Structure 1
Amino acid sequence: VHIHWKAYGGPSVVNNGLALCTLHHDAFDMGAFGLDESITIRISGGVSRSPVVDHLFWQRDGQQLFLPYDKTQWPAEQYVGWHRKQIFKA
């Protein structure tokens, strides 16, 4: 998934991407979750609560994203910041 959407000027580079399953890809694009400045997962307050949703989303709130060893491949703040301001629904 592009963090800063390609349709809105986001480039196709490694540090503008995340490897997500289809469910989490769609949720990320809808702003149900995002990343803070520390690349920590944040869940939108608008995401409902249920055992399944808690397992798929809320249990991950505040967890550090699993990142590659090579820091040049980490999500860049310029793209994460765009998603946080334009898409994520805190």
Structure 2
Amino acid sequence: MGNVLVAVEAAHIKWHQAGGPDQEENGIALCTMHHKLFDLGVFTINQSMKFQVAENAHGTEGFDEWLMRYHGKEIRPPQSPLYRPKDVYINWHVREVFRGPARYVAD
């Protein structure tokens, strides 16, 4: 962020302890902060690979810049289509982790 290097982590979509495999199609690359927020259910991705912020998520300084600016936007696709997250893992995250519903996105 800015001139500071930020580590990228492999975030399981379906958690390992819930039977999620250690495979590319069950993961997304996130910085440490977004990985924690993803695991807390503050945001998820949908089957269209769009970033979805929970309606009841709120914050103060940095909330719009670090979270809301991505809401409704498509995430960057993996380098190979073989690594695209599988819908079964995305559906699990939405159902079991995400604190939705997602915020409204105006077209």
Q: Distance in 2 between matches of 1:63 and 1:50?
A: 21
Aligned partner of 1:34: which letter? T
CA shift at 1:69, angstroms?
Answer: 3.9
RMSD (CA atoms) = 1.1
Report what 1:54 is aligned to: 64
Larger radius of gyration: 2
**Runs (4+) off by over 2 Å:** none
CA shift at 1:64, angstroms?
Answer: 0.2
* TM-score normalized with structure 1 length: 0.94
Bigger fraction of residues in helix: 1
Alignment of 1:11-90 (within 5 A): 11-90=21-100
For structure 1, the 5+ residue unaligned runs are: none
Quick one: percent identity of the two aligned structures? 30
Bigger fraction of residues in strand: 2
* 1:19 match: secondary structure: strand
Q: Distance in 2 between matches of 1:57 and 1:24?
A: 8
For structure 2, the 5+ residue unaligned runs are: 1-10, 101-107
CA shift at 1:51, angstroms?
Answer: 4.4
CA shift at 1:44, angstroms?
Answer: 0.7
Greater relative contact order (Cα 8 A, min sep 6): structure 1 or 2?
Answer: 1
